[in-house]
Amino acid sequence: RAFRSTDCIPIGNENDTVYTDEIKIGDNDNLAAHVAQLCNADLLVILTQVDGLFTGNPERDPDARLLSEVTAEELESAGASAEGASKDGLGTGGFATKIRAVHTAFEHNIPVIVANGRTRNILSRILDGEPHGTLFIPP
């Protein structure tokens, strides 16, 4: 509630905590979804090393295309393409954890955008309404 009254954006990273025995969620995507729920967020933005969710693994499938929007009804089939997404060794769960975080956010009707964190000024651009990444639309 305090976050909303100050118009701040909470940013969390489970890997940077000092003491983790009581708060281990498992990955930053699901941690973010839980924080979004606690803050009653209007939007959850998950930044990653890819542009969003693709129809297949773009590293292996030259025809894979970025999905700009995924509805709750489409989420299960979208999750199937996420299972084949690559892991670069930097994260803990690849795109499948992002799909689980989307499900968690949807429990509180919170839309989610998954976008490339390496894009210059990405948060400002998203908040200004520019379409980036994949928007997951809750039911």
Q: How far apart are CA 29 and CA 53, in angstroms?
A: 14
Q: Give me the pLDDT at residue 78, please.
A: 73
Q: Is the pLDDT of residue 106 over 70?
A: yes
Q: Give me the pLDDT at residue 92, please.
A: 47
Task: Please report which confidence band the pLDDT of residue 75 belongs to, taking 50, 70 and 90 as the band edges.
Answer: confident
Q: Give me the pLDDT at residue 57, please.
A: 82
Q: 62-90 burial by CB neighbour count: b if 16+ within 10 A, else e?
A: eebeebeebeeeebeebbebbebbeeeee
> What is the per-residue pLDDT across 24-56, written as a single tens digit (0 to 9) for each?
556 789 888 988 998 889 999 999 999 999 988
Q: What number is the average pLDDT over the span 95-122?
A: 94
Phi, psi of 45 (to 5 degrees): -115, 125
Q: Token digits for 45?
A: 């933005």
pTM summary value: 0.81
- Sheet with 134-137, strands from edge to edge, namely 44-48, 112-116, 134-137, 69-71
